[in-house]
Amino acid sequence: MEKPEPTLVVDLINGFRRSKVMFTAVALGIFDRLNDAPKDAAELARQTSANPGALERLLNACAALGLLRKEDGKYSNEPVASAYLRSGSDGTLAGYILYSNSALYPLWQHLEDAVREGTNRWGQAFGKQGSIFDHFFKSDEAKRDFLMGMHGFGSLSSPHVVTAFDLGRYARLVDLGGATGHLAMSACQRYPRLLAAVFDLPSVIGTTREYVKRAGLEDRIKLIAGDFFKDALPEADLFSLGRILHDWPEEKIRLLLRKIYDRLPPHGALLIAERLLNEDKTGPPDALMQTLNMLVCTEGRERTLSEYTALLREAGFENTQSRRIGAPVDAVLATKERTGWQRLSLRPSRRPLTRPSATLSRRERAEKWR
């Protein structure tokens, strides 16, 4: 029998090497240092305190991967590196790369034990226990890398998430666990009449303020410090959860979804941004890699649309829609169609459903919620 081509297996063997080349170049600040002018290996070695010969090997590998251009012995950034690998570029992914290098890469070394035991690997990799955010925020530098990483990925996804459904009928959005505010900012830019708030931990809000100010949206995005599991939620007719639910097990998700449902007015909604698994859970490949990532570093996992729909229905949401949006996440919108007493009523009401805010104009509702 003729053997199949080994290309797939060989590519998988070498995959981690390519990732680590990029991680190392970002960690050394190579792409930042090449922003102004091309440099040779010797100059970059002096600037990074690296061995010249070893650094030249790394630079040549980056050129082979399409991240750098080499001409006359000098290196310069390719456009993709300038856009996503420099720490100062808009929409940079450098923060997520640094977080991947310092946190995820060590955690993934223990994937076998995570599969055997079904638990994350923070204690095994770093000798510390605690919640995932105790590790993400163990230092100001680690916190900034994590938040910058979330902003980079969020900047790729959020503009698509907020256009997946028509959100123009909503007046006030509260993004729970909104990090740098990328989803709230995208929503405000897409819907000029919308007011928004970012609700996140006190240790995060200071960084959020920097990003919101940079976007010039301080007058439309309010910042609220709190813990969405423990504290009362702000008033809103639209809540959003961007890459939040996949961090947690079902019992915590049920608690959070019920809190959101109870806080929403009739016809309010919840916008969810998560990567959806196919119903048979054999794809998409990036979603399956992400669910293993959740295994090694959180209490959660990626889910199918039917699994999210069941959790939402249990919380009270009666209408769930989804969209594949060609981004690192997919979009789900769940609406609160009726109030509790109407759902329990044995006889349908003959009167039209009334809404206390229905007689208010959008401007009046916005002023009310300020």
pLDDT tens per residue across span 40-89: 999 999 999 999 999 999 999 999 999 999 999 999 999 999 999 999 88
Within a 10 A sphere around the Cβ of 239, how many other Cβ atoms? 28
357 or 230: which leads in pLDDT = 230
Rounded Cα distance between 69 and 246, Å, is: 38
- Give 10's DSSP letter: H
Answer whether residue 21 shows pLDDT above 80: yes
Answer whether residue 264 shows pLDDT above 80: yes
Residues with a catalytic annotation lie at 246
Instruction: Tell me, yes or no, if the pTM score tops 0.85.
Output: yes
In this predicted structure, what is the pLDDT of residue 124? Answer: 94
Answer whether residue 337 shows pLDDT above 90: no
C-alpha dihedral over 261, 262, 265, 266, to 10 degrees? Answer: 70
Give Cβ neighbours of residue 216 (< 8 Å, ≥ 6 apart).
Answer: none
In this predicted structure, what is the pLDDT of residue 140? Answer: 77
Query: What's the chain's Rg over C-alpha atoms?
Result: 23
Kindly state the percentage of the chain with pLDDT values over 90.
80
Residues 135-163, mean pLDDT to the nearest whole number: 83
Give Cβ neighbours of residue 330 (< 8 Å, ≥ 6 apart).
Answer: 273, 274, 275, 276, 322, 323, 324
In this predicted structure, what is the pLDDT of residue 130? Answer: 61
In this predicted structure, what is the pLDDT of residue 136? Answer: 63
